[in-house]
Amino acid sequence: MFGVVPKTLWSKHQKSDELNRVQAAFNCFVVDTGQKRILVETGGGVRHKAIAKERMRLPERPIVLGEALSAAGFEPDSIDIVINTHLHWDHASGNTVDTPEGAAPALPRAIYYVQRGEVEHARERHPRDAVSYLPVNYEPLIDAGRMHLLDGDFNVMPGLDLRVAPGHNRDMMVVLVRDGDETWCQFADLAPYAAHVTPTWVAAFDLFPLETIATKTELFHRAAAEGWWCSFGHDPAISFAKIEVEEGKWRVRPDAR
Ligand SMILES: [Zn+2]
């Protein structure tokens, strides 16, 4: 998760178990405009093999996205739009549910957005990362015309923008929401943990680490200058934080809201 950063440094931010595993969340967010409800990410899903459960120490009974949404006051059929920042299994496995007729949209009324280049890369089945892509999370949605494939940056509606942020892979998007003079950004795997706020802290998963550094440097400077609320793909403790930079030192200030 922390790439070439030595454990002596990252262990100050993230505890690990005896096998060096760190706690990870599959962070999903709902944007409620009053007129539309938008779900950002659908998490790791429930289709885990026993061996994967053991290797990753996943909970015996995984959280079901629909149940988690209902518990938070958002019924699955009230979601209008789903945004997949990218299609890695740990971000998109709540997209569909299994029914006797096959995989069906888990958000029954929603349209789903993802980059076309991400789908093309997923379909390449490249040996480096094919394991991260489960076709059941996107092919049934594409077949049913429910997944819209985007060609670059996209304005979903006033105040809601998707921006291609290369590094983690070629076509991952960050999500920007603006309301008045406040901005929220879901950085997804551009910054999996708040500890990745230092632009050179790059996960070993990333296909293009130098691009990660460039993209993070640009976006984090804007986030710091404009006081954005920032969220991270997998941080189990910090949901929203502000970023500060002083004399080249990056830091996050979590907020309890
Ligand atoms: Zn990813």
Instruction: Provide the CB-side half-sphere exposure for 187 (13 A, CA).
Output: 34
Gap between the Cα atoms of 191 and 177, Å rounded: 17
Cα dihedral 185, 188, 194, 195 sign: negative
Residue 56, helix vs strand vs coil: helix
- Residues, Cβ < 5 Å to ion ligand 1: 88, 189
This prediction's pTM: 0.96
Gap between the Cα atoms of 227 and 184, Å rounded: 9
Gap between the Cα atoms of 41 and 106, Å rounded: 12
Q: For residue 201, how far is its CA from the centre of ligand 1 (angstroms)?
A: 15
Tell me whether residue 48 is exposed, middle or buried, using C-beta atoms within 10 angstroms of its C-beta: 0 to 12, 13 to 18, 19 or more: middle
Q: For residue 233, how far is its CA from the centre of ligand 1 (angstroms)?
A: 8
**How far apart, in Å, do the first and last CA atoms of the chain sit?**
27
Q: For residue 169, how far is its CA from the centre of ligand 1 (angstroms)?
A: 8
Q: For residue 180, how far is its CA from the centre of ligand 1 (angstroms)?
A: 30
Cross-strand bridge partners of residue 159: none
**Reading across the β-sheet that carries 37-40, which strands appear in turn?**
29-32, 37-40, 81-83, 111-115, 147-150
Write down the pLDDT at residue 120: 98
Q: For residue 85, how far is its CA from the centre of ligand 1 (angstroms)?
A: 9
Give the mean pLDDT of the chain: 96
Q: For residue 189, how far is its CA from the centre of ligand 1 (angstroms)?
A: 5
Write down the pLDDT at residue 86: 98
Task: Answer yes or no: are the C-beta atoms of 188 and 85 closer than 8 Å.
Answer: yes
Q: For residue 144, how far is its CA from the centre of ligand 1 (angstroms)?
A: 25
Gap between the Cα atoms of 122 and 141, Å rounded: 14
Q: For residue 247, how far is its CA from the centre of ligand 1 (angstroms)?
A: 30
Write down the pLDDT at residue 42: 98
Q: For residue 86, how far is its CA from the centre of ligand 1 (angstroms)?
A: 7
Q: For residue 162, how far is its CA from the centre of ligand 1 (angstroms)?
A: 16
Write down the pLDDT at residue 254: 83
217-221, Cβ contacts within 8 angstroms, sequence gap of 24 or more: 219/165, 219/174, 219/185, 219/187, 219/190, 220/245, 220/250, 221/245
Q: For residue 90, how far is its CA from the centre of ligand 1 (angstroms)?
A: 7
Write down the pLDDT at residue 24: 96
Write down the pLDDT at residue 255: 74
DSSP state of 165: -
Q: For residue 84, how far is its CA from the centre of ligand 1 (angstroms)?
A: 11
Q: Report how far apart, in Å, the C-alpha atoms of 245 and of each of 9, 175, 224, 234, 252 are.
A: 19, 22, 7, 22, 9
Q: For residue 192, how far is its CA from the centre of ligand 1 (angstroms)?
A: 9
Q: For the chain, which ranges sit under pLDDT 50? A: none
Residue 127, helix vs strand vs coil: coil
